Amino acid sequence: MKILVLCLALASSVAGATIASQDDLTRVALANGQGFVDSGERFGITIGEGVSAADRLLVGRGLELSRRTSGGNCYGRKYSDQYDLRVYIDATWRHGTVCVAALRGRVASISWFYNFLSP
């Protein structure tokens, strides 16, 4: 029994170190599958920066712009038609989406949903 506990503790610390050394998309996919920010930064995008810079960054990281609309819904949050919503698909093993809401050309919020176990 003590050996099993020791092995589990070691595996947990190794997994934690591995997740910590990976990029933020991987950390979110493995540890925090969904979320929302409207201040600070997430995925290298700073709230308030130009949405075109955010677009280049996400596409540069391998995400694909899937949908762009004026207003609507992103993961339960409703936005008026004044907002430009951009949904990006992460079709890697992480299986996720990122929604960037912009107002007057600036990133106002970022929300995401990841489920690496989905088919």
pTM check: above 0.95: no
8 Å CB contact between 98 and 112? yes
At residue 26, what is the residue type?
Answer: T
Q: Report the SS3 class of residue 57.
A: helix
pLDDT band at 66 (very low <50, low <70, confident <90, very high): very high
In the chain, the DSSP E strands lie at 34-37, 41-42, 45-46, 64-74, 77-90, 96-103, 106-114
62, pLDDT greater than 70: yes
pLDDT classification of 12: cutoffs 50, 70, 90 = very low
Tokens of 64: 């694909």
pLDDT at 4 over 60: no
